[in-house]
């Protein structure tokens, strides 16, 4: 046997196989959605329902900073919140795979340790892009108009960056438990997290300590940065986090992604220990 065959794989070759494995796993997850389109449809339309409820049921009672239109203030908040909503769906998929023995089957295959979790992240990110497009279309239908194309692309980039961070968080939490009740608990907690931000109302209208918590919420920083980019009404605020929302909109997701991606891969490797 030649020395070339005996030589270990290079780092580039290992990376190439890891990417190929991740894409294959993502394709498997997307194929499941094609056979079960109802779940994808409900996930895409639920944020639209919340948007319509707040615009037409509560919008008349809302006070917007500077006297702007509440619709323009709300839409970026809903776009940000939609990036958080799918956390429990990701957890559910991971827990379901574990309970059905699919996780153990994947672990028995000669795959890169990061491939399965990365594949799940890629598949759910694709679903998030679809959901974001549906929500933006609904916002246009009710009269919302953003800024120029460059600003829109930058805003979409920030939103998807936040989504990636919460996808990795959902993957890690799903790997920690096989109990569906835990997913329900997380699903319940998503709502206080969303409301404790500047997504629906200005943080400056909250009590002092609560306003500080809301301003530093990763969702708030992304939503504020998106509003600034798109020329939408922005809460003036009084805190450092609001004044530096764009920097935090980049920093928070990167930190969360790195932390939970590493934890997810390590948890995957240690499942049988």
pLDDT number for residue 238: 65
Question: Per mean pLDDT, which of 88-92, 125-129, 179-183 is the most reliable?
Answer: 125-129
DSSP letters for 101-140? THHHHHHTSS--TTHHHHHHHHHHHHHHHHHHHHHHHHHH
Least confident of 48-52, 71-75, 263-267: 263-267
Contact 190, 220 (CB under 8 A): no
Q: Is the pTM of this model over 0.85?
A: yes
Question: Mean pLDDT throughout 101-105?
Answer: 75
Q: Is the pLDDT reported for residue 119 higher than 80?
A: yes
C-alpha distance from residue 35 to each of 2, 31, 96, 132, 177 (Å):
47, 7, 16, 21, 26
Per-residue pLDDT reduced to its tens digit, 141-157: 999 988 788 999 999 99
Name the pLDDT band for 7 (thresholds 50, 70, 90).
very low
**Is residue 101 packed enough to be buried (19+ CB in 10 Å), middle (13-18) or exposed (0-12)?**
exposed
C-alpha distance from residue 79 to each of 109, 133, 162 (Å):
38, 10, 11
C-alpha distance from residue 124 to each of 27, 127, 199, 266, 272 (Å):
11, 5, 23, 20, 25
What is the chain's mean pLDDT, rounded? Answer: 85
pLDDT number for residue 9: 65
pLDDT number for residue 102: 75
Name the pLDDT band for 237 (thresholds 50, 70, 90).
low
DSSP letters for 188-227? HHHHHHHHSSSSSS-GGGS-HHHHHHHHHSHHHHHHHHHH
Measured CA to CA, the distance from residue 40 to residue 22 in angstroms comes to: 21
Q: Is the pLDDT reported for residue 2 higher than 50?
A: no
Closest-CA residue to 175 (of 238, 74, 90): 90
Per-residue pLDDT reduced to its tens digit, 84-100: 987 888 888 888 877 77
Question: Mean pLDDT throughout 115-139?
Answer: 89
């Amino acid at each position: 046997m030649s020395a070339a065959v005996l030589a270990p794989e290079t780092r580039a070759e290992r990376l190439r196989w890891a990417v190929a494995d991740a894409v294959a796993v993502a394709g498997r997850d997307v194929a499941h959605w094609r056979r079960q389109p109802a779940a994808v449809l409900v996930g895409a339309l639920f944020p639209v329902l919340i948007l319509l409820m707040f615009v037409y049921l509560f919008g008349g009672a809302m006070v917007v900073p500077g006297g702007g239109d509440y619709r323009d203030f709300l839409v970026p908040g809903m776009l940000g919140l939609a990036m958080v909503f799918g956390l429990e769906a990701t957890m559910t998929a991971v827990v379901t795979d574990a309970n059905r023995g699919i996780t153990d089957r994947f672990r028995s295959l000669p795959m890169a340790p990061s491939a399965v979790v990365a594949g799940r992240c890629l598949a759910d990110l694709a679903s998030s892009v679809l959901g974001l497009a549906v929500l933006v279309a609904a916002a246009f239908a009710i009269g919302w108009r953003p800024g120029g194309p460059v600003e829109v692309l930058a805003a979409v980039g920030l939103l998807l960056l936040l989504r990636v961070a919460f996808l990795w968080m959902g993957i890690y939490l799903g790997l920690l438990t096989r109990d569906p009740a835990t997913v329900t608990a997380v699903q319940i907690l998503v709502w206080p997290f969303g409301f404790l931000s500047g997504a629906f109302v200005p943080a400056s209208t909250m009590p002092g300590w609560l306003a500080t918590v809301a301003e530093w919420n990763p969702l708030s920083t992304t939503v504020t940065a998106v509003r600034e980019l798109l020329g939408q009404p922005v809460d003036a605020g009084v805190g450092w986090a609001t004044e530096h929302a764009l920097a935090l909109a980049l920093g928070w997701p990167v930190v969360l992604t790195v932390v939970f991606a590493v934890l997810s891969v390590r948890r995957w490797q240690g499942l049988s220990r």
